[in-house]
Amino acid sequence: MAQYDFDLFTIGAGSGGVAASRRAASHGARVGIAENSRVGGTCVIRGCVPKKLLVYSAHYADDFADAEGYGWTVAPPVFSWPDLIAAKNRETDRLEAIYRKLLSDLGVKLHEGRATLVDAHTIEINGKRVTSANILLALGGHPVTPKISGIEHVISSNEALDLPQLPRNIVIVGGGYIAVEFAGIFAGFGSKVQIVIRGEELLKGFDDDVRVTLSREMQARGVVIHTRTEIVSIEKEREGFNLTTKAGAELSADQVLYATGRQPNTKGVGLEAVGVKLHERTGAIVADGWSRTSVPNIYAIGDATDMLNLTPTAIAEGRALAETLFNNNPMKIDHGHVPTAVFSNPTVACVGLTEKQAREKYGAIDVYRTNFRPLKNTLSGRDEKTLMKLVVDRVSDRVLGCHMVGPDGPEIMVGLAVALTCGATKKQFDKTIGIHPTAAEEFVTMREKAPEPAPAKAAE
């Protein structure tokens, strides 16, 4: 008779938790999974997928505008926000049903309700207890907001996906992924959009050329960016909201979206009681390269560890853990060359090191940069330009980073991630013959090195 009810019990049925559970079950493990919301998690239900659907819809504004330059006469288009949200909801419902079926088909037992740890092998869901030899924490994360007067009036990215009507005037506080993506969405639908950030540029942590380029292009599209600005209070008025800045200025809007960060869902799960170590500042679960926590049979993946909060990373970590535990195939995930994209308008995509990171780590580097008007924009008359950039180790000639702002960047970057994972050199990039005419070919035709920055700037 088995000592435990399950070989693996996963808390959290998001992309990572589902992937790990399915892979473990496919290797014959007895698997249970608990979810206190909808199966699919952040990515499928209230993140990547629904947001990308809204991004697609917003881009039609550009397509209608550009069509005339290509000989098309298009009647004035009419947009319906309620119709879009209804279509989006049908798709997320469809995907959730698929996720449920995938689990069921492999014999993974779904427990719907909030799960908490009783001890290192016991989980309680809705008053019922089950035991498992191994426990996987795939808890995900949630949006957080600062404690200021009136913060109860704002929405997060969760609510932004289900607004009953399109805001005419929206203020978005924050300058990261979520903020710039929703700025592009709402601006595409004709809303007046203002972004408020405390720093000088958007997308902290990205390459500086990328940050400057995106800011310029977004402003050219009518998005107003308030830099070095901090909101200290929000007041609800008869129609909309009034925001007061630290400097005493006032902004008005009929909707306020805060995209000021996310935190791991680690509270109220019983982690501390069973000895799972958490990061003191972030509350994230401390896990090693094998997804092991401080408790030998408890593992953690995805946003709950706050290592690299990307859906494909969580899926890869989950599958690797299942291979390690149940298929005698020990696997670790290399987080070094994971590509990422921001579905802003225009899009941002990158893989590898920024110029600043490369200078700090390698010292002598070469930078190749091109800024051009895409062929599509020649007949449409659109002024928007594309930025591409390569960062190269001068000693080994190895390409350390690839960066892009412009259409199709996310599609292009996956292939470049393969090249960087294989250790490709700039010479090999140069030997590669591209497809003409495409934007992607620019990554293999850059020959002119960018001038060396002034010593003070390079040291920054």
Q: Which of 239, 260, 281 is the last residue of a domain?
A: 260
The tally of domains found in the chain comes to 3
Q: Please indicate, yes or no, whether residues 223 and 276 belong to a single structural domain of this protein.
A: no
| Beta pairing partners, 6 | 132
d(CA 257, CA 241): 11
420 lies in some domain: yes
Q: What is the CATH number of the domain that holds 376?
A: 3.30.390.30
271 lies in some domain: yes
Structure tokens at 297: 């049979």
pLDDT at 258: 98
Q: Please indicate, yes or no, whether residues 214 and 302 belong to a single structural domain of this protein.
A: no
3-state secondary structure of 387: strand
Q: Please indicate, yes or no, whether residues 210 and 123 belong to a single structural domain of this protein.
A: no
Identify the helix (H) or strand (E) that includes residue 376. helix 376-380
Q: Please indicate, yes or no, whether residues 293 and 256 belong to a single structural domain of this protein.
A: no
Start-to-end CA distance of the chain, whole Å, equals 63
d(CA 355, CA 353): 6
Catalytic residues: 436
* Structure confidence at residue 393 as a pLDDT band (50, 70, 90): very high
Q: What is the CATH number of the domain that holds 33?
A: 3.50.50.60
Q: Please indicate, yes or no, whether residues 399 and 437 belong to a single structural domain of this protein.
A: yes
341 lies in some domain: no
* Structure confidence at residue 14 as a pLDDT band (50, 70, 90): very high
User: Averaged over 235-253, what is the pLDDT?
Assistant: 95
pLDDT at 458: 56
User: Averaged over 278-288, what is the pLDDT?
Assistant: 95
Structure tokens at 75: 């009647």
240 lies in some domain: yes
* Structure confidence at residue 455 as a pLDDT band (50, 70, 90): confident
Q: Please indicate, yes or no, whether residues 20 and 39 belong to a single structural domain of this protein.
A: yes
The answer to whether the pTM exceeds 0.85 is: yes
Identify the helix (H) or strand (E) that includes residue 355. helix 355-362
d(CA 387, CA 409): 10
Q: Please indicate, yes or no, whether residues 135 and 236 belong to a single structural domain of this protein.
A: no
Q: Please indicate, yes or no, whether residues 155 and 76 belong to a single structural domain of this protein.
A: no
| Beta strand extents in 138-177 (DSSP E only) | 141-143, 169-173
> pLDDT tens for residues 134-160?
999 999 999 999 999 999 999 999 999
176 lies in some domain: yes
* Structure confidence at residue 164 as a pLDDT band (50, 70, 90): very high
User: Averaged over 30-48, what is the pLDDT?
Assistant: 95
DSSP 14-69: BHHHHHHHHHHHHTT--EEEEESS-TBHHHHHHSHHHHHHHHHHHHHHHHHHHHGG
Task: Print the domain residue range for 394.
Answer: 346-459
Q: Please indicate, yes or no, whether residues 137 and 267 belong to a single structural domain of this protein.
A: yes
pLDDT at 459: 53
More confident residue, 460 or 62: 62
∠ CA 309-52-16, nearest 5°, is 35
Q: Please indicate, yes or no, whether residues 103 and 192 belong to a single structural domain of this protein.
A: no
Q: Which of 241, 260, 279 is the last residue of a domain?
A: 260
1 lies in some domain: no
| Beta pairing partners, 2 | none
pLDDT at 457: 60
Q: Please indicate, yes or no, whether residues 67 and 161 belong to a single structural domain of this protein.
A: no
> What average pLDDT does the chain have?
96
* Structure confidence at residue 453 as a pLDDT band (50, 70, 90): confident
Evaluate if residue 52 carries a pLDDT over 70: yes
User: Averaged over 283-295, what is the pLDDT?
Assistant: 96
Q: Please indicate, yes or no, whether residues 319 and 388 belong to a single structural domain of this protein.
A: no
User: Averaged over 333-344, what is the pLDDT?
Assistant: 94
| Beta strand extents in 269-321 (DSSP E only) | 298-300
Q: Which of 237, 260, 283 is the last residue of a domain?
A: 260
428 lies in some domain: yes
d(CA 98, CA 110): 14
167 lies in some domain: yes
3-state secondary structure of 257: strand
